[in-house]
Amino acid sequence: MQGRYFYRLKNEIMKTTIMNIRFDFLGYLLFLPFLLFCSCQESIEEISLDAEVVINQDSKIVTLMKSAVKSDDDDDQCIKFKYPLGFYVYYTGSISIETVIINNDDELIAFFDELSNTDQLNFDFPIELIDTDGEVTPIDNLDELVGTLQVAVDACRGEVDYDFCDDKNKKVYICHKGQTICVSINAIWGHINNHEDDYIGKCEDDGDDD
């Protein structure tokens, strides 16, 4: 079941990335007249939006980030971001790209809610996630961020049958290089994608001893 879940998740992320690139290509075509105009005017600071990580208000990653931090109880929050977070934003009608710094969850949600459907942005990677013990998980690109947040949000909602190893359901048993370890939900995606022999759950040889 979990294998199918991760296979489906990878396909969804690939589709999301393709859609983002298509949207970005159209955005650059629309933005081209502004670039031509600016080339004839006083030079401005050159900051380009990476085609692989440009998103807008309707992107999946925006929904996931808002879901990850929305909670009335701090202990129930799926994921905690290490602030400040940096974004590069092209606001519709602007002739330059702005840098936006976000300092807390409320600012993050307000920032996303105030975007228009045609504004474009990307992240100032790396982004760092913090687990319940204060351990930091670095995230280096959009695919990794989407996958990590999707797994964490699904775990918080109880949509995947994980073998949790803490009383807050924020850590999971993983078989890593033949040994059972207990990792944050922030680290599940990284383990499964970076170590082909890793899998969710206790190692088969461990049985119920751990």
CB atoms within 10 A of CB 187: 22
The closest of 148, 151, 188, 184 to 169, measured between CA atoms, is 184
- Give phi and psi for 157, each to the nearest 5: -80, -5
From residue 24, alpha-carbon distances to 55, 94, 100, 125 in Å are 8, 16, 20, 19
**pLDDT at residue 168, rounded to an integer:** 84
Task: Write out the two tokens for 1.
Answer: 């079941």
**pLDDT at residue 4, rounded to an integer:** 63
pTM, full prediction? 0.74
**pLDDT at residue 143, rounded to an integer:** 92
pLDDT profile of the chain (210 residues), mean per 10: 63 59 47 46 47 78 92 77 96 92 96 93 94 92 93 86 88 93 93 90 72
> How would you label 46-74 residue by residue, b for 16+ Cβ within 10 Å and e otherwise?
eeebeeebbbbbebbbbebbebbbeeeee
